[in-house]
Every structure is written in structure tokens, then in C-alpha cells.
Amino acid sequence: MPATLLVEVLTEELPPKALKELSGVFASKLHAGLQKERFLSDASAVSAFATPRRLAALITRVDERSPDAEREVQGPAVSAPAQAVAGFARKSGVAVEALKKQQTPKGEIYVARVRTNGSALDAVLAGLTEAALKTLPIPKAMRWGSGNAQFVRPVLGLVMLHGSRVVPGSVLGAASSNRTLGHRFLSAEPIALDHADHYERTLAEKGGVIASFAARRASIIKALEQAAGKDAERVAGDALLDEITALVEHPQVYAGEISKDFLAVPQECLVLSMQQHQKYVPLRDRATGKLLPRFLFVSNISAGDPSQIIHGNERVLRARLADAKFFYDQDRKTRLEARVPKLASVVYHNKLGSQLERVERIQLLAGKIARDMSADTLLAERAAWLSKADLLTEMVGEFPELQGLMGRYYALHDDEPAAVADAIGDQYQLRRDDRDPENLTSVCLYLADRIEQMAGLFGIGDRPTGEKDPFGLRRAALGVISAFEILGAARNPGNPSIPDIKYLLEFAAGLFTKRPLAADTVEAVHGFVLDRYWYQLAAVYDKNVVEAVLSKKPPLVEVVSRVEAVKQFCSLPEAESLAAATKRARNILRKENVSDVRLARKELLVEDAEKDLAQAILNIRSKVDAHFDRRQFVDCLKLLSTVRIQVDCFFNKVLVNSEDPKVRENRLALLSELDYMFNRVADISKLAT
């Protein structure tokens, strides 16, 4: 009879950052294994449970024995030798006379109907459980005791319960039973489970454990909101909440106090210190956004008088924040500019030199970008010169996540211009919501940093391969794209001019004078960035539209506006016909080896259709050029759509390959004009279905 199945693996404390994922994968893999072995029905459902000391899966409507089944196994062709046919029949466990013939696209073959006997749950459950555990995303397994079992943590016990019956078996050295463990302090004795359906309730009532990860997380969030009050909001992202949930089985939320003396330290330092080291939840004022002198923490035990717990956590946090304040005070005693020469002793890459050499390259590149964009060159170069100085500060040494951010605070303390300080702070994460950047210095430094990084690492062969990207070059490419999108949204068509990525890559590659880069560096990085852009845009726009634009390798700052223009063009009734005609013209030109743009001669136009097309092109040519020069891509494509009738008429009535070679060359020239004009914004032929 079908019944609910419970499988629980009891362990030492599991890694908290991975617990949620481990739980989900274990439950899904066990469910998939039982389904493959035909123990489940369509009505079967799986639930995952996870606490610091257990992974569990609860699956409903699991049969005690899987049914017998028949399946077809394809064999050799009917024309195969008799020996091969006999071998197939023997392997399938049937007589040769029992083989059936079946017609397939590859010809007639033999087919055997193989009967598979069902199996008992008792015989396979331990194996399926161990197989599911082996598929978990564990970075490093460990051994314990004298056995050979390996898992992320030592296994202390195993529960395999089908309804109220214990399923016998052993997994990772632990024999199955119906006895589980409750809370480490609130439940000293093992707990006997009378039925799989009562698992969650029994653990809560007798063991003091909220077994469901999701339910425990929800209870923590609710308690945090209540403790924070109406005027405060918690500073805790999903990752921190998941980690806190993975550390407790019986969550209790308490509030502690912070000395106001510590609030003089940048709040990012305080928040990181509380979250990273202690898993505390800082609070900030809803109205002002400033950090409050209070914090919340989640304990794994409840107490009638929690004062000792609160005071103990306040004392621990006080020491942490005192360290942060000391680092901050010490760092401000030395100006950023005084730290820059010391970067010569910090290795950036063994093939690309020190951090100081990198700073010098970034400074030259940032200055170049600023000059080309009519931004303040001195500010951009100053920001680049100071950009990596905070790597030598005590605060960044303790909290590497604060790179750039602390540089901004120290730059302001040193009375550097605000634009310089902001650029240092923005160099690792440019503000995407700033669609009209007043501070182009930030964009100059952000671009220079990533372009130098990609050029250098690509140039020495450290390129992303498959899933491997140890230097984050895919992220760097997306950052470059983001910066150009911001510039494109804020762009004045006349001023400032925005240099293209390929031009900047060529300049950057020339800065690596001590070690010449690979000859294909610029093309490789340019193609890499466009590929990243393709995948990003293809998630939002039609893939043919994206391909039509990016195949032209346009300036990055124009990509979005061109894609939007082509999207609007596709909605026009003329679009499909013009795309097909452009594709036809492209094929003719390719076949005739015409790659350059030629001008048709009026005196060699013979047919009315080609004369009409030539005149239509002449009528709109100057207007199309003007729209394109002003980057009015929508108007450009709309104007091109007005010649559809002449284009269709030309292909319907004119034979391009005329017997007269001069006429044929002239018609090819006319098609080259048409191809050039239609494919300036995008390769319209890519839109043809």
C-alpha cells in the first residue's frame, strides 16, 4: 500500500551557507530516483527539510513495491547477420522467434519486448539515498572514524520510515531506525517517530526544532520585523537571512545596543562587521536611512531572562566595532596619495607587473577617455591615480569587500575633489540608476579599469573557457556594456563624442610596453564583449533583431537605440518584403564577388523598374545619411521602408545577369547602393525568415 516515506540523515553541523541548496538537491534527487524505479504516482509530492544537523525528505504516496513493467528495446537491422540477431535476443532474455520487426527512418529493425520485474522498497531505498547524497554540491568531503564513508560532515544517524514501518538499510555507515534527534540543548534524549506523516509536528513538540527551512526562515523574518519596530528597518539581504536560518533550529530574536561612539565610523564598515563576523542584523532609520544604535540577533535558545545572552552579544560586538574604529582612525593618518608608490610592491599579475604599473596604465587610459568625451581630464587621471591606494589600508585588509568604498571616504577626508572621491567609490559598481551622469569622471575610471583588465588578461592568454572565468572577465564585459548604456542614455548627439570600445582597446593594448600582448587581443576582446551583449539583449529582444544589429559591430553606445529602431521597423508592413529583398541582393552580390559600394550610371539604366529604383534611392539618399549622422535610426529605417514598391518591382521585372556586361555591372552597382543604404543601421537581411 502507498504511504508517506521519510528519509532523514542526521549529521554534525552542516555548512550554513550551503544548507538550503543541499536540502533542495537531496530531496529532488531522492524523489527522481524513486520515480525512475516506479515507486511513485503522479499524485506523489516531495517536501524538503533542513536544520543545522539534518537533511530530510518527505515524499507522499510511495509504494512498498514497484510494479512490473514492459519496455521495447531496439536491436539490429533485419538485414543483420543471424549471429548478431541471436546475440541481441539472448542479451534481452527472449527467444529469437519472439523478436518483432519495426520500421524506422533508418530502415526495418528487430525489437524485443523486455519485461522488468518490480522491486521492493526495502531493497533499493538505502542505495537511492546514498546515490542522492553523492550528487550533492559538496566542495570537499571528509572522513570520520575508522570507516571509509565520506560526506560533508560526519553522519550520526539515519531515519528511513515508510508510514510507521522502519525500512531496513545502511547509508554512510549509519543503520536506519525511527529515532531522530531534537534540539541540542532543549531535547537531550533521542525522539521516537511513530509515523512519517507526524515528522514535522513531533520534532516541533518533542524536540524543540522547526524542521522546515522555509517555515523557520519565515518565523525569523516575522520576529525581526516585530523587534525592529515601525520606525526602523532591518539591514539584511536574502543571503544573510538564509545563513541565519541555517544556524538555528529554535530561533529566538533579541535586541542589543551599540555605543553611539561607533556611529562615526562609515556605516558600511559597521554593517559588514555585524553581518559578516557575527551574523547580526543592523537597523537603520526608515526616514533618514542612517544606522541606529541598535541591532538584532537570532539565538538558538530561548531564555526566561535573556539579559545575559544580550549582554554577551553586545560585548562581542563592541570588540568587533572597536577594531573597525581603530582601523578607520589609523588609516586616515596617511593620505591616499602617499600610499600609491607602495603599490609597486603589490603584485597585480606575475605577467602584467605590479599594482602601480596597472594604476599607471589605467591613469593614461582614463585620461584618454576623458579627453575624447570632453570630460575633465585632470579629475579622471587623479581618480585613476588614487583608485587602488585603499588596497593598502587596514580597513580594506580586514574587509576586502570595501575596496573603493573606503577609498572614497579617505579621499573626502584628504580634501580631494568630490568628483574624484565619487569615481573611486564607483569603480567597482557603477550606479546604473544614474541615467544622466553629471560625474563623467566615474564613467571614465570605471571603463578604464575594465578595459585595461580585459586587454591585459586576454593578451597573455588568461581568457574565459567554458564555465571557468577566474578573473571575472565576463562580469567586466557586462560592466563595460553597462557604462556605455548609461552614456548612451545621457548622450547629446553633438557633444560629447563617445569613443568606441574597439578604439579604446587598441589604445589600452598599446600601454603594455613591457610585455607585448597577443596579436589578436583587440579583436578577441571586442568579439567577447559583443557576445556578452548578444546574450544580454537576446533575453529581452527577438534574437534576429539582436543579430541584425550586432553583426554590424556598431559602437556600443548605439546598440540599444539601433535595436529599438529595428524592433520598430519589424512592425511595419513593408519589413518582411524588404528583408527578403535585401537578403536576395546580398546573395547576388556575394555570388558575383561584389564587396565594395559602387554607384550606378544613369545612362546604363535600361528597364523602367531599375530606373525607378535608382531614382527612389537618389530621392532618399541624402535624407537617410542625415538621419544616420544624427543617430536618428528610427527615422532612417522608416524612410527606407518607402522604397519597398520599387525594390519589389525591380526583382520581379529586372534580370540582374544581363547578357550585356556593362548593364550587368551597372545593375550590380545599383544593388550595392541598395545593400549599403539598407544595412547601415543593421543587417536587415538577418530579419528574413
Instruction: List pLDDT tens digits, range 331-372.
Output: 999 999 999 999 999 999 999 999 999 999 999 999 999 998
Is the separation of the CB atoms in 51 and 249 below 8 Å? yes
Give me the chain's average pLDDT, please: 91
CB 192 within 8 A of CB 176: no
**73-122: pLDDT as tens digits:** 889 998 899 899 899 988 888 888 888 888 888 889 999 888 778 889 99
Residue 436 clears pLDDT 50, i.e. is over it: no
Q: Give the pLDDT score at 437.
A: 52
The answer to whether the beta carbons of residues 386 and 337 sit under 8 Å apart is yes
Residue 82 CB partners (closer than 8 Å, separation 6+):
none
Alpha-carbon span 641 to 627, nearest angstrom: 14
CA 689 to chain centre: 31
What value does the mean pLDDT take over residues 584-607?
85
CA distance 661 to 368: 51
DSSP 312-335: HHHHHHHHHHHHHHHHHHHHTTS-
Q: Please give the full DSSP string across 502-533, using - where no structure is assigned.
A: HHHHHHHHTT--SSPPPTTHHHHHHHHHHHHH
| pTM of the entire predicted model | 0.80
Q: For residue 594, what is the DSSP state? A: -
Give residue 298's pLDDT: 96
Show the cell assigned to 562.
539601433
Measured in degrees and rounded to the nearest 5, phi and psi for residue 131 equal -65, -40
What's the burial of 239, exposed, middle or buried (CB within 10 Å: 0-12/13-18/19+)? exposed
> 262-303: per-residue pLDDT in tens?
999 999 999 999 998 899 999 999 999 999 999 999 999 888
User: Distance between CA atoms of 622 and 628, rounded to whole angstroms?
Assistant: 10
Compute the distance between CA of residue 678 and CA of residue 656 in angstroms, rounded to an integer.
Answer: 19
Q: How far is CA 80 from CA 75, 76, 109, 238, 596, in A?
A: 10, 6, 9, 61, 58
CA of residue 47 relative to chain centroid, distance: 27
**What pLDDT digit, counting tens, does each position of 113-126 carry?**
887 788 899 999 99
Q: Choose among 217, 190, 222: nearest CA to 206.
A: 190
Instruction: DSSP for 22-33, please give it.
Output: HHHHHHHHHHHH
CA 682 – CA 567 distance, rounded (Å): 11
- Per-residue pLDDT at 533: 96
Predicted pLDDT of residue 147:
81
Per-residue 3-state assignment (H helix, E strand, C coil) for 377-438: HHHHHHHHHHCCHHHHCHHHHHCHHHCCHHHHHHHHHCCCCHHHHHHHHHCCCCCCCCCCCC
Max mean pLDDT range (81-95, 381-395, 642-656): 381-395
Structure confidence by residue, pLDDT tens digits, 472-511? 999 999 999 988 888 876 655 444 478 889 999 999 999 9
The three three-digit cell numbers of residue 518, written as one number: 597577443
Half-sphere exposure of 433 (CA within 13 A, CB side): 0
Residue 438's pLDDT band, with cuts at 50, 70 and 90, is: low
Q: What is the pLDDT of residues 294-320, one digit of tens each?
A: 999 999 988 889 999 999 999 999 999
Higher pLDDT, 198 or 629: 198
Predicted confidence (pLDDT) per residue in 25-34, tens digit: 999 999 999 9
Cβ contacts of 135 within 8 Å, gap of 6 or more: 25, 29
| Segments in 630-682 forming alpha helices (H) | 633-640, 644-653, 661-678
Identify the residue whose cell numbers are 532609520: 285
Instruction: Collect all residues with Cβ–Cβ distance below 8 Å to 590 and sequence separation of at least 6.
Output: none
pLDDT score for 434: 46
Tell me the three cell numbers of residue 376. Answer: 575633465
Three-state secondary structure call for residue 56? strand
pLDDT at position 495 is 43
- pLDDT of 7-18, one tens digit each? 999 999 999 999
For residue 674, the Cα-to-chain-centroid distance in whole angstroms is 41
264, 247, 256: which is closest to 316 by C-alpha?
A: 256
Q: Which of the residue ranges 115-119, 430-434, 637-641 has the most confident prediction, judged by mean pLDDT?
A: 637-641
The predicted pLDDT at position 20 comes to: 95
Q: Is the dihedral of CA 540, 545, 549, 552 positive or negative?
A: positive
Q: What are residue 12's phi and psi, to 5 degrees?
A: -70, 175
